[in-house]
Amino acid sequence: MSMNREGRPTRPQDAEASGETFTGNRALMLEEPLIFEMGEENGTGVDFDERQEETIGHRGFEHDEDFYRDRLGGLQRRAPIGLPGLSEPQTVRHYTRLSRQNYAIDLGLFPLGSCTMKHNPRLNEKVARMPGFADIHPLQPADTVQGAYALIDMLAHWLVTLTGMHSVAMSPKAGAHGELCGLLAIRSALEARGDARAVVLVPESAHGTNPATAAFAGYRVENIPATARGRVDLEALKARLGPDVAAVMITNPNTCGLFEPEMIAISEAVHAAGALVYCDGANFNAIVGRVRPGDLGIDAMHINLHKTFSTPHGGGGPGSGPVVFSEALTPFAPLPFVEKQGDRYELIEEETAGEHHGRTFGRMTAFHGQMGMFTRAMSYILSHGADGLRQVSGDAVLNANYILRELEDVLDAPFGASGPCMHEALFSDKGFAGGLTTIDLAKGLIDEGFHPMTMYFPLVVHGAMLVEPTETESKAALDQFIGAMRSVAERAKAGDQSLKAAPIHAPRRRLDETLAARRPILVYKAPEQG
Amino acid sequence: MRYLPLAPADRQAMLAAIGASSVEDLFVDVPEAARLTGRIRGLPDHAGELSVERQLGSLARRNMVAGEVPFFLGCGAYRHHNPASVDHLIQRGEFLTSYTPYQPEIAQGTLQALFEFQTQVARLYGCDVANASMYDGSTACWEAVVMARRVTRRGKAVLSSGLHPHYVSVCETMARFTGDVLDVALPELVAETDAERLLAAIDDETSCVVVQYPDILGRIADLAPIAERAHAKGALLIAVVTEPVALGAIRSPGEMGADIVVGEGQSLGVGLNFGGPYVGLFACQDKFVRQMPGRLCGETVDAEGKRGFVLTLSTREQHIRREKATSNICTNSGLCALAFTIHMTLLGETGLRKLAETNHFLATETAERLVEIPGVEVINDSFFNEFTLRLPKEARPVVRALADKGVLGGVSLGRLYPGAEALENGLVVAVTETVSRIDIQAFAAALEEALA
């Protein structure tokens, strides 16, 4: 018997690789069918307590005197619903596999301008899951939820103090819902003084939610132009102001990543014309601890807790959009809200509003807002404190300026010459060759292992690329990102057509969005038998 | 500061690269008068994890936790058991810390889960299509009313008196600004729903009828006659479902002719959370899909012909259409939708039906026990897991007295309809699978004592 002295080969052998696999998987990149394709029509991953099953049995809702008579009003569901079920191991594997097809902040820098993808501290998750916050019902008697009311009041105090405003409405469910809240308060205030007005002015560079919200609140929307320096054109604004203008919606810092230096003059002009100033606070993270919107003449501003105060984006919500108000708008703020009365917190609702808050415009949502986001934001705020929050905006702005200056020699920076940016740096695809545009650089960035920046927004810059690194990136991470951006930008400027095929290393190549819209398939349908 | 990676040396090097001498120099555009020089006064400095956990934990401990006492509250928010794997999966960073899937090549996980969600919701509701979620049931309800106005080009909505009063309030708030006319009424403490009133109110001006199923008092009524009447007059039927588990036991609104079905999805996967975040469900029949609000995920193929998913029909949405969008909604309730889908996948049809059966059985048992108390009546002929008691006295102080005894015994109608004297003896009791026989006995004993 001879010994195998070679053992397992420890050096790779030369061979041709086809890349094709039987399963369609590529090692750690695993393809996964829909739950409807897994043949588990009758499966389940939930067991019910045996003692209850004994009592209830499996006889369903039969009218059976020995058993019990159901009280479903004769509307028992008989036809199959079509909901497949998976055991726990199958479920965990299915969604774990799906999760691995996502990019995430936990994986790398997420330079999505205007969206603020910063690290989500896990302490916040832990706090939000404390049973005293997570397992309480919104209609419990006030005496049994004093701690919850206290937390809402504590967050409200911080938001009012950080913004230098007079009050805050906590119930709006997300930023756009907050915008609606602000505009409804403005409309109520104007109507209360017998001066209903019909028009809301919105800068061209605004988020799409601004004009959509104004329309949803019943206003006609008109655009106001930007200057060559990417700011609101104060003279054009002044020329348009008049007795029909109810409000101006300003984003500050604006969507070009620039602070509006004439903000105080803008507010004064708007107020002089009898209108009110709404500020889109999506970019409050750039100035938190350094500038108070209340000092800029703003009447209402929403705060996206998921942007400034790091509640997780969760693949598209849930958000939370508290709105801070000036003294003039405070009487019109929505219900419900928490009020401290002596040592006790009360929830002011329809019933009690009359005594305290008779001019409220009413309720915007069931119950009282995104408690699960309040707890996370509070945990974030207490962790940073007043000193840390000032550092947050400082580092966010420093990181963005570093990227601006390290890339402006390879990428067109339309407002680069007009001074420092705030928390995001704006570039464009000017100078790309061979028909390549912003989307090609974006998709090339995916192959480099990054989520793309915001593309084609703001609309005022052709082929815009808006980069927001946030304060939670290290210098090493920024340098690697800058290197990747430089490399892809050089290829785009050289007209490298291989970028048109990017991404090639992602779980999917470019997807046909035209086909999806032309022939919408929005739910799974089993293939026709035959 | 543990969340800020830059070291002082990094900051210096970066400032040098930028050509600025300090971070303050970068804020040059901020008017001097508005620039804060020191930190904001009256607020504490940063704190370690332990200290933050202690501070917030002390607030959490001041609340009466639903899971620690006999608990019977519902009215739009229900306490169900959430399987452990749901919370584990939604905390995976790739879901928790990902963005809205605008870059579909690296967001197939979120997109495929949304496609599964849309399919589950559509099937549960008996509709052709569903969107990728709304903020919550109440805002979904108003969006449905607005959608019906777009579809029918009419502005009068008839709301059932059995619609959750907060949902009614949201509609009233919004209608004041949009000019929609609402026909509303208070519920009555009787076994029948207000179907007769609705049938009489539908006319040629009506855009939609909005009916909650089961309604705020827990009653269940056939929607088919209302659908028939609405359609005959060119109006839409909007059904509102605040308890999705009910649809494991009773017929779906879509089957009975509802055109739009909306509701709250919080029961599955999400939890109570003191009212939010929740997840709004929104479904409709195929012909209305281009009038829907909110995000939609659709199937397509990639450049190699492989199946993939994308956000689609975005020409309805604010980021493309701006003031002409179908809604101003941007963020939906993505992570809650994921939790809903995972819980529903764990249940499957088998589990959902069994869960519904357990809820209904325990609710009937509770109702039978409570009517043994002198003076207590159940007003419902029909209900799923929630029913309304008429007490021999005003319910609101009774609920407070029960809470003092450590029993969270339902929602008083006085809380929901302040000032409505005809309703003040009403108490809405919800019973889910989390209620034990011991809880039922404890509730009955405490109620008997509180009424004595």
Structure ipTM: 0.97
Residue A155, CA distances (Å) to A82, A135, A377 in order:
44, 20, 8
pLDDT of residue A20: 86
pLDDT value of residue B358:
95
A365 alpha carbon, distance to own chain's centre: 19
The secondary structure of B388-442 as a DSSP string is: EEEPSS-HHHHHHHHHHTT-B--EEHHHHSTT-GGGTTEEEEE--TT--HHHHHH
* A60 pLDDT more than 70: no
Q: A8 to chain B nearest CA, in Å?
A: 36
pLDDT at A6: 66
Residue of B nearest to A221 (CA): B323
**Candidates A147, A349, A520; nearest CB to B298:** A520
The confidence score (pLDDT) of residue A217 equals: 87
Average pLDDT on B273-277 reads 97
The shortest CB-CB distance from B333 to any of A263, A317, A366 is to: A317
**Closest by CA position to A88, among listed B333, B351, B92, B116:** B351
B189-233 pLDDT, tens digit per residue, is 999 999 999 999 999 999 999 999 999 999 999 999 999 999 999
**Contact: A420, B91; criterion CB under 8 Å:** no
User: Residue A384: which of B1, B68, B367 has the nearest Cβ?
Assistant: B1
Q: Which residues of A touch B47 (CB under 8 A)?
A: 382-383, 385
Question: What secondary structure letter does DSSP report for A173?
Answer: -
A320 residue type, one letter: S
Maximum alpha-carbon separation in chain A: 105
Handedness of CA A357, A361, A362, A364 (dihedral sign): negative
Closest CA to B72 of B380, B359, B382, B392: B359
Please judge whether B115 and A524 are an interchain contact, meaning their C-beta atoms are less than 8 angstroms apart. Answer: yes
How far apart are alpha carbons A305 and A173 in whole angstroms?
10
Q: What is the pLDDT of residue A356?
A: 72
- CB pair distance less than 8 Å for A77 and B29: no
Q: With beta carbons less than 8 A apart as the criterion, state whether B259 and B370 touch.
A: no
Say which residue, A464 or A230, is predicted with more confidence: A464
Average pLDDT over residues B350-356: 97
Query: How high is the mean pLDDT of chain A?
Result: 92
Could A176 and B328 be called an inter-chain contact, meaning their C-beta atoms sit closer than 8 Å?
yes
Contacts of B37 in chain A (CB under 8 A): none
> Do the bridges between strand B260-264 and strand B236-241 make them parallel or antiparallel, or are there none, so unpaired?
parallel
CA separation for the pair A529, A198 (Å, rounded): 57
Identity of the residue in B44, B295, B411 whose CB atom sits nearest the CB atom of A385: B44
Cα–Cα distance between A41 and B229 in angstroms, integer?
36
In a mutational test of the A interface, the residue from B111, B135, B387 whose CB has the highest number of chain A CBs within 10 Å is B135
Minimum distance, in Å, between the CA of residue B202 and any CA atom of chain A:
24
- By DSSP bridging, strand A245-251 and strand A199-203 are parallel
Question: Residue B349 and residue A117: Cβ atoms within 8 Å?
Answer: no
Residue type, B77: A
What percent of chain B lies above the pLDDT cut of 70?
A: 100
The pLDDT tens digits of the residues spanning B125-175 come to 999 999 999 999 999 999 999 999 999 999 999 999 999 999 999 999 999
CB within 8 Å: B350 and A42: yes
**Residue type for position A206:** A
Q: How far, in Å, CA of A467 to CA of A483, rounded?
A: 14
Residue A495 DSSP symbol: T
Task: Give A301's contacts (C-beta < 8 A, 6+ positions apart).
Answer: A163, A165, A182, A278, A279, A280, A281, A284, A293, A323, A324
Give SS3 for A256: coil
Closest Cα in chain B, distance from residue A273 (Å)? 23
Q: Which of A70, A77, A423, A466 to mutate to test the interface with B (most CBs of B within 10 A)?
A: A77
Q: Where are the domains positioned within chain A?
A: 125-379, 387-505
Dihedrals phi, psi of B129, to nearest 5 degrees: -140, 160
Residues of B in contact with A117 (CB under 8 A): 97, 99
Q: What is the pLDDT of residue B126?
A: 98
pLDDT at A201: 97
Residue of B nearest to A103 (CA): B106
H or E segment at B293? Answer: none
Inform me whether the pLDDT recorded for A59 exceeds 50.
no
Q: Pick one of 3.10.20.30, 3.90.1150.10, 1.10.3720.10, 3.40.50.2020 as the CATH number of B67-81+349-451.
A: 3.90.1150.10
To test the contact with chain B by mutation, choose from A37, A101, A345, A523 the residue with the greatest count of B C-beta atoms within 10 A, namely: A523
B chain contacts of residue A173, beta-carbon cutoff 8 Å: 135-136, 139, 276-277
A158: nearest CB among B43, B116, B139: B43
Could B30 and A261 be called an inter-chain contact, meaning their C-beta atoms sit closer than 8 Å?
A: yes
pLDDT band at A228 (very low <50, low <70, confident <90, very high): confident
Q: How confident is the model at residue A57 (pLDDT cuts 50, 70, 90)?
A: very low
Between A77, A158, A349, which is nearest B247 by CB?
A: A77
pLDDT beyond 50 at B9: yes
Q: Verify whether the Cβ–Cβ distance B338 to A158 is below 8 Å.
A: no
Q: How far apart are CA B264 and CA B244, in angstroms?
A: 7
Residue B196, classed as helix, strand or coil, is helix
CATH fold group of domain A387-505: Aspartate Aminotransferase, domain 1 (3.90.1150)
User: What's the CATH architecture for A125-379?
Assistant: 3-Layer(aba) Sandwich (3.40)
Residue-level pLDDT at A103? 98
- What pLDDT score does A62 carry? 47
- More confidently predicted of B321 and B75: B75
Give the sign of the dihedral formed by CA A74, CA A79, CA A84, CA A88: positive
Q: In whole angstroms, what separates CA B255 from the centre of its chain?
A: 22
Do A136 and B17 lie within an 8 Å CB cutoff? no
Range A143-167 average pLDDT: 97
Give B287: exposed, middle or buried? Use CB within 10 Å, 0-12, 13-18, 19+: exposed
Task: Give the minimum alpha-carbon distance from A132 to chain B in angstroms, rounded to a whole number.
Answer: 4
pLDDT in tens, A382-427: 999 999 999 999 999 999 999 999 999 999 999 999 899 999 999 9
CA distance A155 to A153: 6
CB spacing of A176 vs B329 below 8 angstroms: yes
Higher pLDDT, A4 or A443: A443
Burial label for B431, CB within 10 Å (0-12, 13-18, 19+), is buried
Q: Give me the mean pLDDT over the B258-286 stretch.
A: 98
Sheet containing strand B377-378, strands side by side: B377-378, B386-390, B426-430, B411-412
pLDDT value of residue B172? 97
CA–CA separation, B249 vs B94, rounded Å? 35
Can you tell me whether residue A427 is helix, strand or coil?
strand
The CATH class, in words, for B84-343 is alpha beta
Give me B405's structure tokens: 């005894």
Q: How far is A149 from chain B (nearest CA, A)?
A: 9
Size of interface A-B (CB pairs under 8 A): 718
The alpha-helical segments, DSSP class H, found in B153-194 are 165-178
What single letter denotes the amino acid at residue A244? D
Closest residue of chain A to B413, computed from CA coordinates:
A139
How far out from the chain centre does Cα A214 lie? 20
DSSP-derived pairing of the beta strands A300-302 and A337-341: unpaired
A64 — pLDDT class (breaks 50, 70, 90): very low
pLDDT digits (tens, 9 = 90+) for B379-418: 999 999 999 999 999 999 999 999 999 999 999 999 999 9
Q: What pLDDT shows up at residue A53?
A: 53
Q: How confident is the model at residue B161, as a pLDDT?
A: 98
Query: Residue B264: beta bridge partners?
Result: B280
From the list A126, A139, A307, A324, the residue with the least C-alpha distance to B276 is A139
pLDDT tens digits along A265-279: 999 999 999 999 999
Q: Please judge whether B348 and A85 are an interchain contact, meaning their C-beta atoms are less than 8 angstroms apart.
A: yes
- CB contacts of B379 in chain A (<8 Å) are none
